[in-house]
Amino acid sequence: MRTAYTSDQIRTAERALMALLPDGTLMRRAATGLSVVCAGLLPGVYGSRVALLVGSGDNGGDALYAGALLARRGARVEAVLAGSRTHQAGLEALREAGGRTVEAPWPDVVRRADLVVDGLVGIGGAGELREPYRRLAVAASEASGLVVAVDVPSGVDASTGRVEGPAVRAQVTVTFGACKNGLLVDPGRSYCGRVELVDIGLGPYLPDPDVVSLTDEDVADLLPRPGAESDKYRRGVIGIIAGSERFTGAAVLSVGGAVRAGAGLVRFAGAKAAVGQVRAHWPEAITTVLDGPSVADVGRVQAWVIGPGLGTGEEARELVRAVLATDVPVLVDADGLTVLAGDRSMLRRSAPTVLTPHAGELSRLLDVPRDRIEAARIAHVRRAVTELGAIVLLKGSTTVVAQEDRPVRVNATGTSWLATGGTGDVLSGIGGTLLSAGLSGYDAASCAAHLHGLAARLASTGNSGGQGPIAAMDVARALPQVIQSL
């Protein structure tokens, strides 16, 4: 499991470790790791051009020391000193190694560099960059050479991932001691490129994490496996109420996600047109045409999924109310969430409830502007858990899962090609299947997001190894192979 921390947590751990070490030890450890990553990115260190963008903080010192190590290996290192002050020991080390400082015109230094090292603003930075950092961040992002960020790209809030104004877009971010929350969560994550972690010895001094990311191994350990004594009922019976006379596709895709994720039995109930389409696509499912808001005729299930394509009229509201009145876990998605936004009292129940909104749906549930949610996803998913009393999976470019008194789980899988209609319906079927198999709501939501992202990557990867467009059904069809691989 990958753990992440706020900048305050990192600083506290650093202070505890620095009290036991000679002055400058941590910075030299960080700079050595940074220089190794930088050297590995260059075709050859000797003769290469390296531009250091140096701010006033410790990460400016990290950049200077790393630049000195590269200069000793024959790189032509030039440092743009942008801060009001400079780490003097690091600057002396650079000059002694043959590096030099540049006053003006610094844009030429950035443009001609093979490698640009962003040491402008570290983990303490917040809000918009000021000049000259702002202009340097823009120049670095437009550079033709590779850009490496020191600890966190300048302009990205290390604790939240918030980005206000221009920020450095790096191909690689070399972070020290432990991963920071803002490197895992968009919009910050999209500025980081590949994240390389340099161990500087902070481990024993870090607290329990507030943010984590599951690995393939973690998910493999959590996924249910049928045994010799298993039958379809022991493997999990999922009930799905989705689709309508107009939106039949949502029903087909939700059921497809459940079938392909390994449900023991799928019971589908919905409008006549939706039932007809499910029967045609998934003959494995047991179907019921709903006539009114009662779910009594559907049969016994171990978890419910309700909402995709359901509509938001009176009948839909009564169906959501009826499902939430049951004593089994329920996953609510799409139109079901819009219904809940009009009456949050339906969430008062003893069994687990998983909500899977995107930012717009969470905006309605919390009465918060969508852009504020997208700018601070972790803060708002935590707020949603507290206010709604449910497990919340917030979908988006970074999907996050939260439960009261547990670390927020950030999903590290997926692809931008997932941004297409119907993929959320497939996700609801996966999540409901895992709930019916006995996983907790927190684990079911986290594993569903992980599988969904991996399936999308697999579906979008062609024979060339690149990625391309996918349809929602492609994601469902890729699920068995992904689960086998885990």
Give the predicted TM-score (pTM) of the model.
Answer: 0.91
Phi, psi of 130 (to 5 degrees): -100, 165
Q: Was 61 annotated as part of a binding site?
A: yes
Q: Is 257 annotated as a binding residue?
A: no
Asked if residue 425 belongs to a known ligand binding site, the reply is yes
CA quadruple 92, 98, 104, 110: dihedral, nearest 10: -110
pLDDT value of residue 464: 60
Confirm whether residue 149 is marked as ligand binding: no
CA angle 356/357/360 to nearest 5° reads 175
380 is in an annotated binding site: no
Q: How far is CA 283 from CA 228, 232, 265, 296, in A?
A: 25, 15, 11, 22
For the chain, which residues score pLDDT lower than 50? none
Is 7 marked within a binding site? Answer: no
Widest pairwise Cα distance in the chain:
83
String of DSSP letters for 11-50: HHHHHHHHTTS-TTHHHHHHHHHHHHHHHHHSS-STT-EE
Cβ neighbors of 434 (< 8 A, separation 6 or more) are 223, 224, 261, 443, 444, 447, 448
- What is the CATH T-level fold of the domain 2-211, as seen in this structure? Rossmann fold (3.40.50)
126 is in an annotated binding site: yes
Domain 216-485 matching CATH 3.40.30.10: the answer reads no
> Taking the domains of the chain in order of start, what are their residue ranges?
2-211, 216-485
Measured distance CA(375)–CA(277) in Å, rounded: 39
33 annotated as ligand-binding: no
Q: Is 62 annotated as a binding residue?
A: yes
H or E segment to which residue 118 belongs: strand 115-119
Cβ burial of 196 (10 Å; 0-12, 13-18, 19+) is: middle
Query: Could you tell me the CA-to-CA distances from 140 to 118, 134, 136, 216, 355 in Å, in that order?
Result: 8, 10, 6, 34, 40
3-state secondary structure of 223: coil
151 is known to lie in a ligand binding site = yes
Return d(Cα 90, Cα 80) in angstroms, integer.
13
Contacts of 395 (CB under 8 A, 6+ apart): 356, 357, 358, 359, 424, 427
- Phi and psi based region of residue 193 (left: phi greater than 0; alpha: psi -120 to 50; beta: remaining): left
Q: Is residue 98 marked as binding?
A: no
Cα radius of gyration rounded to whole Å, the chain? 26
pLDDT for position 465: 65
Specify the pLDDT at position 20.
95
276 is annotated as contributing to ligand binding: no
DSSP letters for 404-457 = TTSPEEEP----GGG-STTHHHHHHHHHHHHHHTT--HHHHHHHHHHHHHHHHH
Residue 436 counted as an annotated binding residue: no
| 196 known member of a binding site | no
State yes or no: 315 annotated in a binding site.
no
Per DSSP, the residues of 125-170 read: --SSPPTTHHHHHHHHHT-SSEEEEESS-TTB-TTT--B-S-----
- Burial of 447 from C-beta contacts in 10 A (0-12 / 13-18 / 19+): buried
- pLDDT for res 293: 83
How far the first Cα of the chain sits from its last, in Å, is 15
With vertex at residue 189, the alpha carbon angle to CA 32 and CA 353, rounded to the nearest 5 degrees, is 130
Q: How far is CA 81 from CA 125, 380, 415, in A?
A: 17, 38, 38
For 333, the token pair is 């998605």
176, 57 contact by CB (below 8 A):
no
**Residue 191 contacts residue 170 (beta carbons within 8 Å):** yes
Q: Is 309 annotated as a binding-site member?
A: yes
124 marked among binding-site residues: yes
Q: What pLDDT is recorded for position 351?
A: 96
Q: Do the annotations mark residue 443 as ligand-binding?
A: no
Q: Reduced to 3 states, what is the DSSP secondary structure of residue 198?
A: strand
Q: Is 122 a known ligand-binding residue? A: yes
Number of Cβ within 10 Å of residue 162's Cβ equals: 22
Identify whether the C-beta of residue 424 lies closer than 8 Å to the C-beta of residue 395.
yes
